[in-house]
Amino acid sequence: MERMRRVRNGTLIFYYLFTACAAVLCLRREATVYNGLLVLAAFLLPAVPQVLYRLCHLRPVYLLEIVFDGFVLAAVSFASLFGGYELIPCWDKILHFLSGFLFAVLGTAVYFAKKPGHALDPADAFNASLYTWMFAMMSAVLWEIWEYIVSFSGADPQQVVRTGVGDTMGDIIVCTVGGLITAISCWKYLRHIGQNRRKGLMMQLFEAYYRENIQNRP
């Protein structure tokens, strides 16, 4: 626990140093209201886990915070502020692919948080995996709806003018694939509980959250 806390503090320092540099570049490139809001969001987002801990009475999960910081760094600081979308043409699809993994893990956590008794049971393998996959796909759809609403502000995150609906469908598809891979990992994990099976990062992330905030709940 203490080691993970120190690692998280280190990643957070790197996050803010990189974000500060990226914010300066972004605002010097184009100081619009939209970019200003992106900079503000980049500096505030790392606090989201702490807010959720307090609101939902959860115990800290440092691995979750490290992964969250890494994703926000890639999605906001690097992609939007630093100009990662222009540097790496497929970066948008990579981010949506990774989001499928993350939202699938969240779906797994929600499933067992709401299950009576909260026990990890091999009998849950199919239902939990299906729920995990559906949760990831739902997140993709809701995100695209949000991007469509944002487009009315003058920004065009869906790139409707240039690509039509192709970008939207591509985002949903890669997020769905990421969710499916996590769902398969979840199925294998639950089917082989107690057999010392190697766990991937997503199931390690789920297990860390489960151990701290679900396992001993009444």
| pLDDT number for residue 145 | 77
Contact 4, 66 (CB under 8 A): yes
Query: Residue 39 in 3-state DSSP?
Result: helix
Question: Over the stretch 10-68, which tens digit does the pLDDT of each residue have?
Answer: 999 999 999 999 999 999 998 888 889 999 999 999 999 999 999 988 899 999 999 99
| pLDDT number for residue 149 | 73
| pLDDT number for residue 164 | 66
Which three-class secondary structure string do you get for 169-197? Answer: HHHHHHHHHHHHHHHHHHHHHHHCCCCCC
- Judge whether residue 194 has pLDDT over 90: no
Rounded Cα distance between 130 and 54, Å, is 30
| pLDDT number for residue 138 | 87
Q: DSSP strand E in 131-207: where?
A: none
- In percent, the amount of the chain with pLDDT more than 70 equals 91
- In percent, the amount of the chain with pLDDT more than 90 equals 44
- Judge whether residue 160 has pLDDT over 70: no
Confidence class for position 196, pLDDT limits 50, 70, 90: low
Q: What is the mean pLDDT of the chain?
A: 87
| pLDDT number for residue 166 | 66
Rounded Cα distance between 30 and 49, Å, is 30
Question: Of the given ranges (3-7, 17-21, 51-55, 140-144), which has the lowest mean pLDDT?
Answer: 140-144
| pLDDT number for residue 2 | 82
| pLDDT number for residue 154 | 67
| pLDDT number for residue 70 | 95
**Residue 164: HSE in the Cβ half-sphere, 13 Å Cα cutoff:** 1
Question: Of the given ranges (59-68, 115-124, 161-170), which has the lowest mean pLDDT?
Answer: 161-170
